Amino acid sequence: MPSSATSEPTSHYLVIKGMKVTRANAMPCPYLAGLPSMYGVVGMGRYLVNHALKGAGLVFDSIAVFVSVFSMSGSQQKYACHSLPDIRKHQDIRIITARDSWFTADIIVRVSSLQNKSVEDLNDWLERHRHLDALYKLRFCGGHVLFAGGCPSVMAVSASELSEVCRHLTGFIIADRIELCRSERRAGEDALDTVLRLIQGSRAEGHGWLVPLLVGFSPLELPVHRKNTRAALPHSYSEPVLGLGRLFSAQAVQSDLGINEPFFWKPNPERKFVVFGSI
């Protein structure tokens, strides 16, 4: 986070309610279908702050997301085999290639104000720039966003106002609980066994369901420049990283939001994937 020799940047929160998301990517990696990728959610937050609201003097820090009215499409499938004789022989073997989702989302983005603007000054700037074209082009993990009221509404609040904001939100917030994969692992279990057991057990506990999440990609090699590419960007082969989240109702966390860090997702500077802790 940028700092000043005289004072620390002021932290504020940007709130967008009632984002109706259509046809978002519900299959962020080959073996996981369901909630949006946290890596994609963080990317959307960074685009919102650093590009769509460029000129407000803000820097992205982290994002919390509430999801409600979630539904998912049937799967798009293809045969695992290529030749017609093999397809006839292995009719039951299919590869799922795509699934879409529809849901309503509310987001709270924590930002730093480099110019130490007050919440009032920031809301005045947001009101004067509410029709920025980039806000209408916002995508939520590949899905189109329809805003409540027909136009985007971004509101700035202080940390002390977060509790009141939560009182008027619906749905469930997604909290990072990857630490359970380490603390709850039993002898002889690998990481996937632990994740599956914890998810199954959470259904009976009644303290918020645990769900698998894609939290990003971990590189398998050091980035290098490839030949015959359109842009001179470093590239490395990577693998998806599975995380673990817990769903809490908005009202259940209204006193913890802004204090309890696992509700806010941010880029991990030491690794390429997004997670509060470290795997």
Q: Going residue by residue through the chain, which has 279 residues, state the pLDDT in tens, using 9 for 90 and above.
A: 333 344 566 789 999 999 999 999 988 888 888 898 888 899 999 999 989 998 888 999 999 999 999 998 877 666 555 666 765 665 565 666 778 999 999 999 999 887 788 899 999 999 998 888 888 889 999 999 998 878 888 999 998 888 888 888 888 999 888 888 888 888 888 888 888 888 888 877 766 789 998 888 888 888 888 888 888 888 888 888 888 899 988 888 877 776 667 889 987 766 554 444 333
% helix / strand / coil in the chain, to the nearest 5? 25, 35, 40
What's the whole-model pTM score?
0.83
CB 93 within 8 A of CB 81: yes
Exposure on the CB side of residue 201, measured as CA atoms within 13 A:
8
Task: Report the candidate in 218, 216, 237 with the shortest Cα–Cα distance to residue 226.
Answer: 237
Two tokens at 46? Answer: 């960074």
For residues 17 and 11, what is the distance between their CA atoms, to the nearest angstrom?
20
CB-based contacts of 174: which residues, under 8 Å, 6+ apart?
Answer: 35, 38, 65, 66, 67, 211, 213, 245, 246, 247, 265
What are φ and ψ of residue 230, in 5° steps?
A: -70, -35
The continuous run of DSSP H or E covering 136 comes out as helix 133-136
The continuous run of DSSP H or E covering 125 comes out as helix 119-128
Q: What pLDDT shows up at residue 79?
A: 56
Burial of 162: CB neighbours in 10 Å, binned 0-12, 13-18, 19+: buried
| Residues forming a β-bridge with 156 | 14
